[in-house]
Every structure is written in C-alpha cells, then in structure tokens.
Amino acid sequence: MTVGQRASMLELLPPLNDHNLPWMDTIHPIVVHFVIAMALITFVFDLAGVVLRKPQLFEVSFWNLLFATAAIFVAIIFGQVEAGLALPYGAAREILNIHSTIGWSLAGILSLMTAWRYVIRNRDSQQIPLSFLGAGGVLSLLVLIQIYLGDQLIWTYGLHTVKVVSAIREGIV
C-alpha cells in the first residue's frame, strides 16, 4: 500500500484520538478475549468429557467452538483496522505481522475444526476421537502463543497507548 493510498483510506475514518483510533479505545482486545476463553474452554470441556466420561460436556464444548469461530472473524476485522492504525516501530512491526498471520491461521483452523466437530457430533454425540482432542490441544497451544504476541504488542511496545502514540507523533520514536 502506498502512502497516498493509506492517506486516502484514512480520510474515510473519523478523526483519530490520542490512541490513534477513530473510536474511544481498542476494540480488538475486547472481542478477542471472548475467542480466547471459548477456544480454550472448548478443549477443557472435551478433555473433561473424555476423562470423566461425561458426554454432555461435549455439547457445551461444541457451542463454545461454534461461537469462537464466529467471534474470531469480528476480532480479525477490528484487529486489522487497529493494526493499520497502530504505527508499529522497530521489532513491534515484525511481531504484529506474525500476530496477524497466526490470527488468520487460527480463523481457518477454528473453521475447519468446527466443521469437523459438526460431522463428529452428527455421527455420534457421545464420543470424541482422540485425533480431535489432539487437534484441540494444538489449537490451544496456538492460542497461547497468540496471547503472548498480543501481550508483547501492548505491554512491551505500547501500541495504541497514549504515551507511545504521542512519542511517535512527535518523532521521538
């Protein structure tokens, strides 16, 4: 994207505030916390359902997975807009790129797992194959990596914080 294209896109937004956002504060972290909770609890309930032999926990898990899949796309939309306005500097730029790539990958993985889970649920709602449980473990690991990267962007590099935005605008960073 050229500087001219970016400038013309910014004209479509309302004026940016002290957080360099067109709205009061970042929305991506708010939405993404729902995705994190639902994706991780999906694995926990599947594991508990298998270990405790309580198939009713699989139903709770399925609905959490379904809503996590829908919510991740909302989180990505706000994440992409907010990333474009973040003014990343130094190492934050690379971390933001990795965070974005993993986010889109998680959307695909969640979508595939939801479709797979739907098929499993329709065939036999009383059992979960160990391969699906393993995929849930891998998904949980990716979510934890994503949390770490997002935390770095906020707590280490301060993207969208007033002090960092001010420093960037003043040319200090």
20-73, pLDDT tens digit by residue? 888 888 899 999 999 999 999 999 999 999 999 999 999 999 999 999 999 999
103-147: per-residue pLDDT in tens? 999 999 999 999 999 999 999 999 999 999 999 999 999 999 999
* C-alpha–C-alpha distance, residues 30 and 77, integer Å: 13
4 has pLDDT over 80: no
The residue extents of the domains of the chain are: 27-169
What's this model's pTM, rounded to 2 decimal places? Answer: 0.85
* C-alpha–C-alpha distance, residues 107 and 139, integer Å: 11
